[in-house]
Chain A
Amino acid sequence: MGVNQNRKHRGYNFAFLDENTKREIRRKLLKAVAIPGYQVPFASPELPIARGWGTGGLQITMAIIGPGDVLKVIDQGCDGSVNAVNIRKLLVKTTGVATTFDTNAASIIQTRHRIPEEAMRQDQILVLQVPIPEPLRYVEASEAKTREMHGEMDYSRMWVYLYENIVQYGEITIGARYPSLVNRRYLIDPSPIPRWDVPKLNQAETLYLFGAGREKRIYAVPPHTLAEPLEFEDFRFRVEDFTGRSCIRCGATDTYMNEMYDSSSGRKLFVCSDSGYCDRRREQSVTQNLACAEPTGHPLGRVPPKAEALVAPIQERSRSYPTASKEAGALEQVVIEGKEAR
């Protein structure tokens, strides 16, 4: 399902970028993999998408994609949101590769703000779009200083930030972009993924590549590498708690869910953030004749614009995470979606 039939546009090099540029990016990727968590500067050329709209991830994908790859692009877990659709279109038009909504079927997944629910394999690569690659930006404004801090592995100020958080609020309030230490050496910003996804980076099967186009940085968490969220002995890292919640579409209780408010009934509703995963579960439950607790129509589902109908069967706008409202990625999201005013 969802395999794109578009033909490759002939006016551009394969995957838009010229081969030298791709080679340059691949070299930087190799360095990033060789030094897990280290932010490698790269040239970040212009693209037909504005910087800050996923160009970092896009360039990585362009540099590594081949004609035989199967591509999946998601934005906050959803295959159908604007950012994902546009990036997918650009990649398909310039490469002609097959696309999919199925995590298991993809060889490259480019994503913004989520890691798919299904465990990924070693033959897959996850490319994350990063708005702010510098985890220390919370505590230090100067780039020169933060690079020195990384060089000397001086992360005490990040730790104090977490400590002060606990003193002030009784817990660590960072929702997304939770700072994690890679390979016991470099602190990374894992991009604005929710805390739910952070443990997936640790000792994974899959290669995670992070690209920040505006900030011109590439970094990586290779497979089988430690990626540990900063935590205190008595204030452990915790993922979001969805106890007692279940997805209104597929009934899942073990996924990261978006919270929505149904103004007609006044109820809070929860729905899987990973639309591909949710769809697959629904298909399975239909084929197994299992009753669905909720009507199949999405309560807040919107009629998709025509252009997206092809690729996005479930028209669910990605929602912001309640806990993520403070971080900078949220701002970007407002710009992109224009509707999620907070």
Chain B
Amino acid sequence: MAATGEAVLDVRGLTRLYGAGCPDCLVLTGPDAGTNICPQCHAIVACNNISFDLEQGEILGIVGESGSGKSTLLRCICFDEEATAGECYFAAFGTGRDDAFSQTGQARRYIRNHLLGIVYQNPLMGIKPHFTAGGNVAEKLLTADVYNVSLIRQRAATLLQRTEVPLARMDDFPANFSGGMQQRVQIAKALANNPPVLLLDEVSTGLDVSVQARVLDLIKEIQRDLGIAMIVVSHDLGVIRLLADRTGVMQHGQVIEFGLTDQILEDPQHRYTQLLVHSML
């Protein structure tokens, strides 16, 4: 499904500081300063005034080295961390112009449960190893108010099958699964309620190459079939190339370059992006 022109997610000026911060933090850090630590107050500027929007069915790639703030960006959007400043609008929440960052915990929980799917790099952050694989998928459905056991089991079976988790293991505990299989359970869980926005943090990192390919194809398929918009954070340019329509490059907490993915990869403009691209294997 192609992007429709309607932004499902709109992020404006997202900023995240670790530490007290001072008035000059945002100016004294960034690619030009060569650091994300404020020389004055020693606060860490993980995300510095980041703005972008996301259309339905669009995949946005975020690349950058570790510590550049890309994971923090995702964690702020899904409320795992509180943004220090900035606004975030979900088309499907309220009037569409209600800032999600300034909502109550309960409203944020609603957004997270109904409008977001999250896949963490570490599968155990997204799934509970002592709930069954099916139970983990069920959790997501239950948070989204599906209260029918047979429906839940059907959907869980479909999703687990799609992510190549053997159905025979649906009622087993992910604690006993391999890392790759845990990751696939996590993806199945994230997709359970057909969220309009899916956040993927280094989703294929640490997976077998064979599994990685299948997972990436699955993500692409989901985008095409369900029109789910995604933010894919990865340091792997190969993953970004296969998945993302547009890509942003982050360094020292700032987005230094935004563009069509093939343009970022073949005609990078920024010094750091060129370094990144030319370091690609």
Contacts and interface: CB of A to CB of B under 8 A. Distances in A.
Chains A and B belong together in one complex: yes
A227 B140 CA distance: 24
A151 B139 contact: no
21 contacts: A152-B109, A153-B109, A154-B113, A156-B113, A156-B142, A156-B143, A157-B139, A159-B139, A159-B142, A159-B147, A160-B135, A163-B138, A163-B142, A164-B131, A232-B147, A232-B148, A232-B149, A233-B147, A233-B148, A234-B151, A235-B149
Contacts of B136: 160
Interface footprint category on A: 10 to 19
Q: Is the interface of B mostly helix, strand, loop or mixed?
A: helix
B250 interface: no
Nearest to A233: B148
A148 B147 CA distance: 23
B142 A234 contact: no
Interface footprint category on B: 20 to 34
Contacts of A156: 113, 139-140, 142-143
Interface string A147-176: 010011110110110011011100000000
Given A167-B171, A232-B148, A232-B149, A152 B105 contact: yes
Given A167-B171, A232-B148, 7 more contacts: A151-B106, A154-B109, A164-B132, A168-B171, A232-B149, A233-B148, A234-B148
A167 B106 contact: no
A167 B135 contact: yes
A157 B143 CA distance: 9
A160 B105 contact: no
Contact of B106 (A153, A168, A231): A153
Nearest to A231: B147
B134 interface: yes
Contacts of A157: 128, 139
A163 B149 contact: yes
B132 A167 contact: yes
Interface in A179-223: none
Contact of B135 (A153, A163, A234, A235): A163
Contacts of A148: 105
B176 interface: no
A153 B132 CA distance: 23
A163 B136 CA distance: 10
A261 to B, nearest CB: 35
B152 interface: yes
Interface string A5-27: 00000000000000000000000
A151 B104 CA distance: 10
Contacts of B113: 154, 156
Contacts of B132: 164, 167
Interface of A: 148, 151-154, 156-157, 159-160, 163-164, 166-168, 231-235
A285 B167 CA distance: 59
Instruction: State the 6 A-B residue pairs at the shortest beta-carbon distance, nearest first.
Output: A152-B109, A159-B142, A233-B148, A156-B143, A152-B105, A160-B139
B150 interface: yes
Interface of B: 105-106, 108-109, 113, 128, 131-132, 134-136, 138-140, 142-143, 147-153, 171
A282 to B, nearest CB: 43
A152 B138 contact: no
Contacts of A151: 105-106
| Among A160, A232, A233, A234, residue most surrounded by chain B Cβ atoms (within 10 Å) | A160
A56 B255 CA distance: 57
Given A148-B105, A152-B105, A156-B113, A166 B142 contact: no
Given A151-B105, A152-B106, A234 B150 contact: yes
A165 to B, nearest CB: 10
Contacts of A232: 147-149
B135 to A, nearest CB: 5
A159 B113 CA distance: 14
| Among B131, B143, B147, B153, residue most surrounded by chain A Cβ atoms (within 10 Å) | B147
Contacts of A231: 147
A54 B108 CA distance: 38
Contacts of B106: 151-153
A142 to B, nearest CB: 14
A174 to B, nearest CB: 15
Contacts of A163: 134-135, 138, 142, 149, 152
Contacts of B131: 160, 164
| Among A151, A159, A166, residue most surrounded by chain B Cβ atoms (within 10 Å) | A159
Nearest to A167: B171
Contact of A160 (B109, B138, B171): B138
A136 B75 CA distance: 26
A166 B147 CA distance: 13
Nearest to B113: A156
Contacts of A234: 148-151
